[in-house]
Amino acid sequence: MWLVSLFDALAYALLDLPPLALLVAVFIFSALVGSFLNVVIYRLPIILERDWQAQAREILGIAPVAVEKFNLVVPRSQCRDCGRMVQGIENIPIISYLAIRGKCRGCGARISAFYPFVELSTAVIATFVFWHLGANAAGFFALFFVFTLVALTGIDLKVKLLPDIITIPLMWAGIILAIWSVYIPLETAVIGALLGYLSLWVVAMGFKLLTGRDGMGLGDAKLLAAIFTWVHFQYFALVLIIACFSGITVALLQKAFDRSNNSDNLIPFGPHLALGGLIAFLYGGPIVDWYVGFLTGY
């Protein structure tokens, strides 16, 4: 309870700020986090792959290969074309990209618009969620929920991977907060985690038994389990409906505009689950109430 009280006290102190100034502060902070998430999205899969390779070498009795130190901090960011180190002034979220017109100042190579997109989307979504929930413990903890979903979405889009090192802490964070019923009660969070994981696990195992090949990674099941430690499991159908509708819509658009028919270009299911989870987190109650009212005429 002390953790919730601490954030409530922080929120109370921030209430002295004008509402607009508080939202601007959240926006700037979230943009900075978005800049760090770009590092996580790019580097974490490489770190994990190197770790898996090292484990495989150890199991096979192969001598380890010496590699340069590589983590979320080292080495410094640099241009992938010319190797020029990125200067501190070039790391200002969104602004730096616009200032250098999306090109390396050394060689003029094009810098992907994915980076400012992550920064801007993180800032916009986090600020909106904070505004929606208010300056309280629920609002502050929701920022972590948003940041984690953005990181998972970015990694899944890049390399089709939902790392356990992110999904599992997200699930445990939801369960810990449920002890104090910040969003949902503890019992509800545990049931939600079981329902979320087992539902997709059954689908994945059923598909594998019928076809003899993997159709869905269990990373999706772990992500859904994590989502339902933050979101009430009564919105289970809503999350899946939104995710499936989003997935089908995007797949049809990709088919219409991408004539290559390359299945590797299709967006994985994780980002769609994240979208469904976030919408249910914010508006699950009103959407379900509207739907029930529509069916019953009230």
Q: How many residues appear in the chain?
A: 298
Tally helices (H) and strands (E) across the chain.
10, 0
Mean pLDDT of the 159-188 span? 96
- Residue 297 burial (CB < 10 Å; 0-12/13-18/19+)? exposed
CA gap 238, 287 in Å, rounded: 9
pLDDT reading at 258 higher than 70: yes
pLDDT reading at 260 higher than 70: no
CA gap 4, 12 in Å, rounded: 12
CA gap 159, 12 in Å, rounded: 41
Q: Which residues of 254-267 are buried (b: 16+ CB within 10 A; e: fewer)?
A: eeeeeeeeeeeeeb
Among all chains, which residue has been given the structure tokens 């985690």?
193
Q: What is the pLDDT of residue 15?
A: 61
pLDDT, one tens digit per residue, over 138-168 is: 999 999 999 999 999 999 999 999 999 999 9
CA gap 206, 118 in Å, rounded: 35
Beta bridge pairs of residue 78: 85
CA gap 13, 69 in Å, rounded: 42
Of 202, 219, 198, the closest CA to residue 210 belongs to 202
Q: CA separation (Å) from 85 to 43, 104, 107, 143?
A: 16, 10, 12, 31
Minimum mean pLDDT range among 31-35, 184-188, 199-203: 199-203
Q: CA-based angle 69:78:147, to the nearest 5? A: 80
Q: What is the pLDDT of residue 215?
A: 66
- Residue 13 burial (CB < 10 Å; 0-12/13-18/19+)? exposed
